[in-house]
Amino acid sequence: MKEIMNALAVARPKKRLFLGLLLASEFFLALALYGAWLICCPGLANIFEYLPAVVGALLIFVSTFSFGAVCNMVLAVKGLPTLKLFHRYTFALIRILFPVAVRLGKIVGIKRRQIEGSFVAVSNLIFLKSRIKVPAKKLLVLSPHCLQLSSCPHKITRDPNNCKRCGGCNVGDLMKLADEMGFTFFVATGGTLARQVVMKQRPQAVLAIACERDLMSGIQDVYPLPAVGVLNIRPNGPCYNTRVDMEEVKRVLAQIVISD
């Protein structure tokens, strides 16, 4: 139990880490665009006299808009009003800036896992501040197969009802909670299967349990479907006999499930 609690304590990411790296990435990207524009100016002018000005104005608009989207996330984290105009472009922007953020993080000694965890924390906060509420029957809860005890002989992927609820892992706890609340619970072997389940079930919201990397990719993959993530606990290392804080799961469920 002590190992699990220590792992849980380490897994509390700081939201400002991801936002800070995004802002820095935005700055360097804008600088790169400006440099490219300067290099291309003579060639653009040969094509059309006003083409450098047109391209420059377009690049300024793109840079300003993307900077506004990042600032919109900062406002959401601070609990201030945000502009819905930026919401639909947020994850597209993150896809572009994240590789830059990872490289910047590596330079200053920040691991990719920390950045991904910070993204999940920011995304969760935006989700919860949006006050999204759904009926339990319209909620899909996804967990990784590594949550199942490795020595368990029962196959629960695709059909978690095969779980015997012996108490050896958290799968039985989640099954019991699904029975009590009425949400759909599924154990996925990977991102491809998880996406297939989302498409088949057509939920109004998703609660996913996974590691930082899988949560980050999964939240972006299902967008604009709202998704909230709960980090798994890895006392034995990644992808092996992982756990989940059931109190955290219940806390999140209490905030998004509409009571009958």
Burial class (CB in 10 A: 0-12, 13-18, 19+), 97: buried
pLDDT for 250 equals 95
- Where does 78-154 have alpha helices with state H? 84-87, 90-107, 112-129
pLDDT for 260 equals 61
d(Cα 211, Cα 88) in Å, to the nearest integer?
Answer: 25
pLDDT for 6 equals 41
Average pLDDT for consecutive 10-residue bins of the chain (260 residues)? 41 76 90 93 90 94 90 82 77 82 89 89 83 91 92 88 90 93 90 85 93 88 88 89 94 87
pTM, to two decimals: 0.79
Show Cβ contacts of residue 42 under 8 Å, excluding neighbours closer than 6 positions.
Answer: none
d(Cα 229, Cα 52) in Å, to the nearest integer?
Answer: 45
